[in-house]
Amino acid sequence: MTLRDAGGSPIDQALVLAFQAPSSFTGEDCVEFHLHGGRAVVRAMLDCLSGFGEARHAEAGEFTRRAFENGKLDLVEAEGLSDIIVAETEMQRRLAMEQASGNLSGLYQGWADALTHSRAMIEAELDFSDEDDIPGSVSETIWHSVEEVAEAIRIHLAGSRTGEIIRDGYQVVIAGPPNAGKSSLLNVLAKRDIAIVTDVAGTTRDILEVHLDIGGYAVRLYDTAGLRETEDMVEAEGVRRARAVLETADLVLSLADITSGTAPETFSDRDCLLVGTKADLGGEVDGFDLLLSSRTGVGIDRLIEAISGCLADRVAGSSFSLPVRSRQTDQLRQALVSLDEAQAARTLSPELPSESLRLAAEALGRITGRVDVEDLLDVIFSSFCVGK
């Protein structure tokens, strides 16, 4: 179809698709113009559309928000769609698809439905305890179901860090004394010059970060300042920052120059690989997990395999039905608190555990946006790009 402006001048040859409500992404009447994509073409089309009195540019995430408000998708699915758009690795894509597909929402809704049913049974016992229609005491059945949901949530929450690793990246920190070859290794793994490399101790004074794709997983690799005592204020700040990023590392590559005779520092509180550098120069080789040379490339493939192995161990056996955002984990923890309170009050007046079960179900409902999330919508949808 030839699209023309108000004066009749052609803008572009385009494909025009019309969708009638509710059979559209947003659930509303919608028209899509598929242009050839040049900036001048898009600008001319937008200028033409802006001539219609009520037409305006969409806000960030507005189409997805309308889809949510019209019941076409819930918040977990919307967040999954957002993650699909920015996914850079295969595992990020799979995790995002699990969220966007509705499978995770179905899991949460199933738990909420089970709690609502248990609450209804408690209230039925309370209201109709003298009636013959209510079978004996259903107390054991009720609380067995509640405990099953609570245990399922605990197991689900235990995978939250794995979900964060897949979505946000496995954090690998290169650490060691000055001139241990940290920056050289970063450049080799990044396959480009990111860090300045010199023979002067203390050259790196800030945190440098690169993103890698190892085996389909996102890996965030950090180069840090050499770990040593120093009177130089700027270098000391770099060392402080290095120690801080080490606190959040999933894996530490502790480097030491094998020609120096210095043993690598061990980090017993987290996964750590002891790496001997400058292997092409010869030296002490005991006490290292592996040896490498950034100059010749010897040992680099083994290091990548070792990182991949540590990562695989960390996420082993995990499905992609995982909570990945703090908003989700916060509500899951709140649901658990309410379930613990319900179980603690099971021998008290039935109104008390019933109310706790209601709060637990509401917490699960807030994850999918079924209840009480109006104050969160602006925050969630503002993270989308315009036009989504």
CATH number for the domain spanning 99: value is 1.20.120.430
Per-residue pLDDT for 135 more than 70? Answer: no
Instruction: Report the amino acid identity of residue 382.
Output: S
Alpha-carbon distance of 74 to 335, in angstroms, equals 19
**37 falls in which pLDDT band (50, 70, 90)?**
confident
- 198 among annotated binding-site residues: yes
pLDDT of the residue at 170: 96
Instruction: Tell me how far apart the alpha carbons of residues 258 and 283 are, in angstroms, rounded to a whole number.
Output: 5
pLDDT above 90: residue 286: no
Q: According to the annotation, is 182 in a ligand binding site?
A: yes
Is 181 annotated to bind a ligand? Reply is yes
Assign 121 a pLDDT band (cuts: 50, 70, 90). confident
Amino acid at 124: A
Q: How would DSSP label each residue in 59-99?
A: PBTHHHHHHHHTTSS-HHHHHHHHHHHH--SHHHHHHHHHH
Share of the chain above pLDDT 90, in %: 57
Task: Let me know whether 117 and 158 are in one domain.
Answer: yes
pLDDT in tens, 149-169: 999 999 999 999 999 999 999
Let me know whether 289 and 339 are in one domain: no
Cα separation, 378 vs 384, whole angstroms: 11
Q: Is residue 78 part of a domain?
A: no
Q: Place 136 in a pLDDT band, splitting at 50, 70 and 90.
A: very low
Q: Can you tell me the distance from the alpha carbon of 36 to that of 43, in angstroms, rounded to the nearest whole number?
A: 12
**Has 8 been labeled as part of a binding site?**
no
Residue 228 has pLDDT above 80, yes or no: no
User: Is residue 223 located within the same domain as residue 349?
Assistant: no
Q: Closest Cα partner for 180 from 109, 247, 258, 280?
A: 258
Q: What is the mean pLDDT of residues 293-319?
A: 91
Is 230 annotated to bind a ligand? Reply is: no
Please check whether residues 203 and 247 belong to one and the same domain.
yes
If you compute the radius of gyration of the chain from its CA atoms, what whole number of angstroms results? 28
Local structure of 16: helix, strand or coil: strand
**Which one of 292, 315, 338 terminates a domain?**
315
Quote the pLDDT of residue 374.
59
Cβ–Cβ contacts within 10 Å for residue 85, how many?
12
**Residue 235 and residue 204 in one domain:** yes
Cβ pair 249, 270 in contact under 8 A = yes
Distance (Å, whole) CA 91 – CA 217: 6
* Nearest-angstrom CA–CA distance, 381 and 118: 34
Angstrom distance (rounded) from CA 271 to CA 258: 21
| Residue 85: inside a domain | no
The answer on whether 199 is annotated among ligand-binding residues is yes
Q: Which of 322, 334, 314, 327 is nearest to 158 (CA)?
A: 322
Residue 302, domain CATH: 3.40.50.300
Tell me what percent of the residues of the chain surpass a pLDDT of 70. Answer: 88
Choose among 30, 42, 101, 96: nearest CA to 66.
Answer: 30
Span 182-205, average pLDDT: 74
Nearest to 217 by CA among 164, 159, 156: 164
Same domain, 243 and 282: yes
Residue of 373, 364, 368 whose CA lies nearest to 112: 364
Look at residue 116 and tell me if it is in a domain: yes
Any binding-site annotation on 2? Answer: no
User: How far is the C-alpha of 144 from the C-alpha of 359, rounded, in Å?
Assistant: 18
Q: Annotation-wise, does 226 bind a ligand?
A: yes
**Long-range contact list for 206-215, CB < 8 A, 24+ apart?**
206/238, 206/241, 207/241, 207/242, 207/245, 208/183, 210/186, 211/88, 211/169, 213/88, 213/89, 214/170, 214/304, 214/307, 214/308, 214/311, 215/308, 215/311, 215/312
State whether 231 and 100 are in the same domain: no
pLDDT digits (tens, 9 = 90+) for 76-116: 999 999 999 999 999 999 999 999 999 999 999 999 999 98
Quickly state the pLDDT bin for 300 (edges 50, 70, 90).
very high
Tell me: is residue 202 an annotated ligand-binding position: yes
The residue to which tokens 């690598």 are assigned: 264
Q: What is the pLDDT of residue 237?
A: 82
pLDDT averaged over every residue in the chain: 87
Residues 263 and 343 in one domain: no
Domain span holding position 204: 169-315
Residue with structure tokens 């385009």?
A: 14
**Domain-embedded: residue 260:** yes
Cis peptide, bond prior to residue 10, ω within 30 of zero: no
The CATH number of whichever domain residue 25 belongs to comes to 3.30.1360.120
Range with the poorest average pLDDT among 124-133, 231-240, 290-299 = 124-133
Query: How do residues 350-382 score in pLDDT, each as one tens digit?
Result: 788 889 999 999 999 999 987 755 555 665 666
The span from the CA of 124 to the CA of 133, in Å, is: 10
